[in-house]
Amino acid sequence: MSGVFDPFLLYLIVAGALVTFVNRLAGHYILVRFEPIPHRVEAALEAVPVAVMTTLVVPAAVNGGWHEWVSLATAMIMCLRVPYIVAAIGALAVLLLLRNFA
């Protein structure tokens, strides 16, 4: 069992957990300090889901084939008319259909 255990990995996990915890505490502290949330803070918080989606979509689009590009184009077009979550689900459905039938 001692051959599988790596102390460096344990230190890395603990350090990552501490950094995440401090980050969450800082976010909570910032939001508690402002009674009405300023427009800039609210805009920054609303941009977080877009940033997360970008980090998930870009590698798949760059490394993927034409299926992923068609699905991404579908999502972009759908975002003009429907809510983002509906566009994401629609693009996922297009991707699954293209992968299964094309």
Residue 27 confidence (pLDDT): 79
Residue 67: both structure tokens together? 């299926």
Residue 3 confidence (pLDDT): 66
Please tell me the least confidently modeled range out of 19-23, 60-64, 68-72, 97-101: 60-64
Q: How far is CA 14 from CA 8, 17, 24, in A?
A: 10, 5, 15
Residue boundaries of the structural domains of the chain: 1-33, 47-101
DSSP annotation string for the chain: -TTT--HHHHHHHHHHHHHHHHHHHHHHHHHHH-SSPPHHHHHHHHHHHHHHHHHHHHHHHHHS-HHHHHHHHHHHHHHTTS-HHHHHHHHHHHHHHHHHH-
Residue 81 confidence (pLDDT): 93
Name the burial class of residue 61, with classes exposed (0-12), middle (13-18) and buried (19+) by CB atoms within 10 angstroms of its CB. Answer: middle
Q: How far is CA 69 from CA 10, 87, 94, 97, in A?
A: 39, 15, 11, 14
Mean pLDDT to the nearest integer, 47-72: 83
Residue 2 confidence (pLDDT): 58
